[in-house]
A and B are shown apart, each in its own frame.
Chain A
């Protein structure tokens, strides 16, 4: 990254400014918890429904602070060799054969040569521990709930000491601990021991005002009336008892989709045609298409007309 690393913000207001500057519309609660996690050097644990902007926080933080973003996408069966480090076995074998071919092999030398940093493949966790003072990277552990408890237990060690022991090399410790952001979609409960080491924040759906601001920033060329209707409709939709309510990501997608279609206002046909952008479950779609969508739209229009 070319831009220089900037120091962490000194107050909640500065944190808020930094987020706004990077086009992330945050509420005061999020700014507070983010500021605390930066100041107290504690990992930030973000939980919330899919598509409310959890991962985005890490990205915004990286660009706002001019730091490198290291992302560890969790999945079932994630193990040390793909998360922390791995030796380059093929190259090591060649090294051994070469030394043998030369003859005169000193055992200690060989060990040192074979297990040197040259043959160490760094994976995200080890990578995150290489930050220099004042420029610690952002370490995003995404969707932790997808991996199993064994990995979670391993993380406990990393998150409390910020060091990794490679048996053949010794202990690698971070000069400055990385800024850790952990996200979870809550498909499984994360153990209390891990949560205890973090600051916890539940990322909720934004209110209408904030969501409108998000749409305004993310889809700048959208018609203002259309944006207001889109946000109003989605806010109403979240109150309906759906299997999966649309997230902020869906709002942005829908607003850009409608703008691409040159719409300036919502009408029942458009809603019905583009509902697939918002709802991803057949039951939910059927329900909204059966007239409930029409009713919600009517309400939104009436409310907007009353507000004018």
Chain B
């Protein structure tokens, strides 16, 4: 280690041999609290990596730890912030004081909060908040940063807990559900007496008899269910159905191989990880805490645009089926909605629109949003009576003989207008 390099480093690393390992362990613990998944094995790796790379400049040290501790691109900002706070050379003393003394307040001027800063700071100074003076920046103002328009109203949501009967019913309904286009052929094989010849299996069985007997073996391609991507509308007009949808999605996530869940009102939220909770109530509580725009306005066009740009390439691979649950009542102007729908349809295998408004008998494709979206869906399915999950499953089942062609609605809309 050169003298020059040690100046860039935190004192704890440069001046005390053997403390670096401890510091890395503390750092990893801080990262874990800030939400990055860091296991004990990666802490060990981090120490090994630092030893392998040697302690050079601050930048090398940063990227050495980054290489081992960060495994998702999304975690980069959190790591960056944690590193800045934890390995701060000049303010190290202040940080230590803040961590261990109950009275030293953080008087430095508050700048605009960086991404993940509050989460990281929370992780590092946990247990000391109660001793700190009340925050000067009220939470509301931080929220205001995300606000896109005056129309957006942020709501929390409390879901009634699910009864045991309901859970049993839901599981049964989902188990019986057969979605349209439910299987895709893979290029993998399974033994099948009615399939094609399987040379590998033939050789293997032949070797059992020493080549005396070469019996024919057959195989056919295996079929699996494709990933399902659900885009559910949680705006005000849909609020009465939200609970049923979320329960449906939870049961579906548990049952199916690959389900990605997104909800949107005025913004798009990915709920896939929250839905993985075994317990439906815990999962729903988690969702409720994550989503901030329950029962607010709708911006279908913006939500779809965001999905197309950021997520479609990540989740729509391998022949995914998209299930779009919305009433199609767009608050904003519908410019761009049609293009986004077209793009969505082009990037998935099948786009199914599930519309609860269809329960009113007189429904016609009159709303501008509905008109813009209808031409771009493969199937337009109705929910006539959405009181329970079984109704939802019934409307999605491919065996129910309803006319799902979206053109029927478009034509009837035209006729009514004329």
Name A's B-contacting residues (CB within 8 A).
11-12, 28-29, 32-33, 35-37, 39-40, 42, 45, 47, 76-79, 81, 86-87, 89, 92-93, 96, 99-100, 105, 107, 110-111, 114-115, 145-146, 148, 150, 168, 185-189, 192, 195-196, 198-202, 241, 243, 283
Contacts and interface: CB of A to CB of B under 8 A. Distances in A.
Contacts of B45: 40, 42
Interface stretch (B66-74, B282-290, B372-380): B66-74
Interface string B46-85: 0011001110100110011011101111001000000000
A186 B42 contact: no
A200 B67 contact: yes
Contact of B314 (A29, A45, A188): A188
A32 B315 contact: no
19 contacts: A29-B63, A33-B63, A42-B45, A77-B187, A79-B189, A100-B211, A105-B210, A114-B211, A148-B188, A150-B188, A188-B314, A188-B315, A189-B315, A195-B72, A196-B39, A196-B41, A199-B68, A200-B71, A283-B339
Given A32-B60, A36-B64, A198-B71, 8 more contacts: A11-B54, A36-B49, A36-B53, A36-B68, A89-B202, A110-B211, A196-B39, A200-B70
A202 B186 CA distance: 30
B314 A40 contact: no
A29 B66 contact: yes
B387 to A, nearest CB: 35
B188 A77 contact: yes
Nearest to B340: A283
A76 B187 contact: yes
B63 A202 contact: no
Contacts of B68: 36, 199
Contacts of B49: 36, 40
Given A32-B63, A39-B53, A87-B200, A192 B188 contact: no
B207 interface: yes
A186 B37 contact: no
Contacts of B76: 202
B195 interface: no
B306 to A, nearest CB: 10
B203 interface: yes
Given A40-B52, A87-B203, A187 B317 contact: yes
B313 interface: yes
B147 interface: no
B105 interface: no
User: Considering the complex of A and B, which 3 residue pairs feature the smallest CB-CB distances, nearest first?
Assistant: A77-B187, A32-B63, A107-B210
Given A11-B54, A200-B70, A192 B309 contact: no
A86 B97 CA distance: 64
Nearest to A108: B210
B318 interface: yes
Contacts of A110: 210-211
A119 to B, nearest CB: 10
Interface in B200-218: 200, 202-203, 206-207, 210-211, 214
B63 A39 contact: no
Contacts of A107: 210
Given A29-B66, A79-B188, A150-B188, A186 B314 contact: yes
Given A111-B210, A189-B314, A201 B67 contact: yes
Nearest to B211: A96
B50 to A, nearest CB: 10
A192 B60 contact: no
